[in-house]
């Protein structure tokens, strides 16, 4: 089973936060679908709004710690949103300014509960580690 998730967000950086802190409040839309060769299980086309705050802390050497949280209630086929079907996620990154590298760790959980045409519940937890280079 393969998954695809698409996020579209806009944000506003809070102005009254003292340095070295920076807080950005973001919101947007989240879309997810799965791909299964036999179509015997999985889900397709769930979407919903998302809230995505981001906190940055700049160190004196220019490196940064960046953390985020995400909450997105989702529904299929433009149905009613429910807190039972949702994605929650959190992550932490360390950005090394001198080498233009970022190390990151993310944890997410997608829970889908549907009553029609059948009653079922799906839960997927993912943990990822990443290394990025900025140019």
- Give all strands (DSSP E) within the chain, no chain letters: 2-13, 21-35, 46-58, 64-73, 75-76, 86-96, 101-114, 120-133
If you search the block for the tokens 């579209």, which residue do you land on? 8
pLDDT in tens, 108-120: 998 888 766 666 7
Domain boundaries, the chain: 2-133
Model confidence, pTM: 0.83
pLDDT in tens, 97-107: 989 999 999 99
pLDDT in tens, 69-96: 999 998 876 566 667 789 999 999 999 9
Residue 1 DSSP class: -
């Amino acid at each position: 089973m393969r998954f695809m998730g698409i996020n579209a967000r806009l944000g506003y950086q809070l102005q009254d936060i003292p340095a070295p802190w920076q807080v950005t409040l973001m919101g947007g839309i989240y879309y997810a679908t799965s791909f299964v060769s036999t179509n015997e299980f999985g889900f397709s086309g769930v979407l919903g709004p998302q809230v995505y705050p981001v906190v940055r802390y700049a160190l004196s050497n220019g490196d940064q710690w960046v953390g985020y949280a995400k909450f997105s209630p989702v529904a299929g086929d433009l149905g009613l949103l429910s807190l039972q079907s949702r994605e929650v996620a959190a992550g932490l990154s360390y950005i090394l300014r001198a080498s233009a590298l970022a190390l990151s760790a993310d944890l997410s959980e997608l829970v889908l509960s549907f009553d029609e045409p059948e009653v079922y519940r799906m839960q997927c937890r993912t943990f990822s580690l990443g290394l990025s280079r900025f140019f």
